Structure 1
Amino acid sequence: MNKRVRAYALSIIGLILLSYLFFSFFRSNPNVYTDSKATGLDSEFNSLVWSDEFDGEGAINQEKWFHQTQLPPGGSWWGGIIQHYTDREANSYLKDDYLNLVAKKETFDDQGEIKQYTAARLNSKFAFTYGRIEIRAKLPTGTGTWPAIWMLNTNIDEDGAYWDNQGLGTTKWPSCGEIDILEHWGKNQDYVSSALHNASSYGDQVKNVGGQKIDDASAKFHDYSFEWSEEKMIFSVDGVEHFRYQPTIKNADTWPYDSDYYLILNIAIEPGIDPDFVESSMVVDYIRIYQ
């Protein structure tokens, strides 16, 4: 090997090694993570205040997350969904430094109700007002699956929810306010949606909604971003905005978004679930909150 070829080969090896070192550094130091699409360098919110990188194996971090399992009155979750939420590792666990939320087809008896599907519903033990959330995730697949990453006000009156258990539940839905960062229906594969529920727009007739089609939502990781200030809310995927909420009139009906909200991660199962469905997971690389 002549000197020129040897020098070229060494430079290529050096670049590969340097790239690996940079990736390892930024992966373990989210405060200095510099992907402009994932961190919004043009945002006013760039100080990391809370995160979960989901490092490790086994059970999720109980200091950061609460399993919400208590059924609403009547024995089924709102919206006609048909699963039990459990606190078992079978439905939520860490593996290879990722969070796995797993929806399964299985007979499960809990709280006097027998259901044929299980999943997990996590409440964050951290709540905040105004900031930016960055989430890197890939979504479950299958007609009838309904994964969501969303937020509720800590004042929601909902028995069994973490913040209601802390004595903060004073306000019924939808007046408390709801922020849907992302929803995905398996019957409309690869379309992701964001919405806002409040006293002026809620339920099946919600008008504050937007979304976009993305490539391989269940096969590839995508970056889901939500930015929330006193003036507006912006929802994006991979740096592409698909919904902005900035009402001209802000009052208790249109803007209950001026106090602390917490995160919820869950997979619901709709009655029209594919009969051949067995299980599918929402896999989350990280969640980072900036203010």
Structure 2
Amino acid sequence: MKHTAHYYLLFLLIGVLSVSCKTNGKEDLQKVASTDLWEVDFLDEFDTFNPENWQDQRIWVNDETQCYVPDGEYGTREVSDGTLKLKVKNIETKLTCDNFDKQGNQHPETEYVAGRICSKNRKEFIKGKWTARLKLSSNGEPSMFPAWWLLGAQNNEPPVQEDNENVCWPTTGSGEIDIFEHHGDHMKDEFTTGAIVNLGGCGEGDWQSKRRNFPSTLNEFHDYSVEWDGSDLIYRLDGKEVYRNIGEGDKYPEPMFAILNYAKITDFAMKGEWVMEVDWVKHESKKQS
């Protein structure tokens, strides 16, 4: 009985120490090691919007029907209570949109506005492991298209700020890896993850063969990540492997930056707003042996 009491006290102490490692349900990511193989070299817990980590990205792609606006206009980008909120909003009055597509065409007037940020020329890394903890306010509604993804740092789309940013999507230097996408038009409580295959020319990408859909409770916080393990790209949900692009990792030798955005992709007449809430973003590199 004396030994049993000692074990009980030990387990109780371990439980107390485990709880003490959290503050309001959020782990102190600076102190908690991710694994024996990785170490954190970038972490943003969104106590504020840090321009050393992120910048707005205004571009018209995928025939999106919303306009990306800067500086959180119309409440499309907000940092509060320790999280980032990116939104699509219906402002019910059409406005002139200064977003342009890859051919230089200007987006038509629209009543929908949204937030999109990227770490381009701020935080860029070769390989490693990217993770974001995020949730959606709702899911499965027509036109919803929130995303968490990576793009090669030599990409020639706005903002173009350095001389070597002259490589077209999705060729090497401008490759794409999608960690989390949700297509409300045809799924609920599911997300899409996987690599875009470079078919060798500008604008020539295979969206289908290396991407898959997986279940997730999208209105609850989850960790969505991709990591390079040797030649493979491994996609994880809350640390558990859900998918693997075998041999695709070697096809992304370039530095890559992260993008968080919320888009609207069809003519569905939404009301109010949609929100993607991001608790934190981090990048990890392999520890040196």
Which of the five TM-score ranges fits, normalised by the shorter chain? 0.7 to 0.9
Q: How far, CA to CA, are the matches of 1:26 and 1:276 in structure 2?
A: 33
What is residue 109 of structure 1 aligned with on the other side? 96
What is residue 81 of structure 1 aligned with on the other side? 64
Checking the alignment, whether the CA contact within 8 Å between 2:21 and 2:28 is kept in structure 1 is: no
Distance 1:239 1:29, change over 3 A: closer
What is residue 44 of structure 2 aligned with on the other side? 52
Q: How far, CA to CA, are the matches of 1:225 and 1:96 in structure 2?
A: 23
TM-fit CA distance, 1:80: 1.3
What is residue 206 of structure 1 aligned with on the other side? 208
The partner residue of 1:270 within 234, 256, 265 is 265
Q: How far, CA to CA, are the matches of 2:178 and 2:270 in structure 1?
A: 29
The partner residue of 2:135 within 131, 135, 138 is 138
- Which string of whole-angstrom CA distances, capped at 9 and with x for unpartnered residues, describes residues 225-258 of structure 1? 21124411101112332221123xx7xxx95301
Q: How far, CA to CA, are the matches of 2:238 and 2:135 in structure 1?
A: 12
What is residue 22 of structure 1 aligned with on the other side? 21
- Which string of whole-angstrom CA distances, capped at 9 and with x for unpartnered residues, describes residues 142-196 of structure 1? 32110001111011111x23xx322221211111210101101122121111121
Checking the alignment, whether the CA contact within 8 Å between 2:22 and 2:28 is kept in structure 1 is: no
TM-score if structure 2 supplies the norm length?
0.78
Matched, 1:61 2:61: no
Q: How far, CA to CA, are the matches of 1:114 and 1:272 in structure 2?
A: 13
What is residue 10 of structure 1 aligned with on the other side? none
TM-fit CA distance, 1:198: 3.2
Checking the alignment, whether the CA contact within 8 Å between 1:230 and 1:258 is kept in structure 2 is: no
Structure 1 runs, 4 residues or longer, greater than 6 Å off = 13-17
- Which string of whole-angstrom CA distances, capped at 9 and with x for unpartnered residues, describes residues 96-137 of structure 1? 100000110123323274212111111112000121122110
What is residue 226 of structure 1 aligned with on the other side? 226
Checking the alignment, whether the CA contact within 8 Å between 2:198 and 2:205 is kept in structure 1 is: no
Checking the alignment, whether the CA contact within 8 Å between 1:121 and 1:267 is kept in structure 2 is: yes
TM-score if structure 1 supplies the norm length?
0.78
Checking the alignment, whether the CA contact within 8 Å between 2:199 and 2:205 is kept in structure 1 is: no
Q: How far, CA to CA, are the matches of 1:91 and 1:210 in structure 2?
A: 29
Over the matched positions of the two proteins, sequence identity in percent amounts to 26
Checking the alignment, whether the CA contact within 8 Å between 2:234 and 2:245 is kept in structure 1 is: yes
Amino acid corresponding to residue 79 of structure 1 in structure 2: N
Checking the alignment, whether the CA contact within 8 Å between 1:130 and 1:230 is kept in structure 2 is: no
Amino acid corresponding to residue 240 of structure 1 in structure 2: K
CA RMSD of aligned residues (A): 2.9
Distance 1:28 1:208, change over 3 A: closer
Checking the alignment, whether the CA contact within 8 Å between 1:101 and 1:267 is kept in structure 2 is: yes
> 5+ residue gaps in structure 1?
1-12, 72-76
In the comparison of the two structures, how many residue pairs are matched? 255
Amino acid corresponding to residue 53 of structure 1 in structure 2: E
Q: How far, CA to CA, are the matches of 1:80 and 1:204 in structure 2?
A: 17
Matches within 5 A, 1:85-104: 85-89=68-72, 90-104=75-89
Give the number of the structure whose residues are more often helix, by fraction.
Answer: 1
Checking the alignment, whether the CA contact within 8 Å between 1:134 and 1:289 is kept in structure 2 is: yes
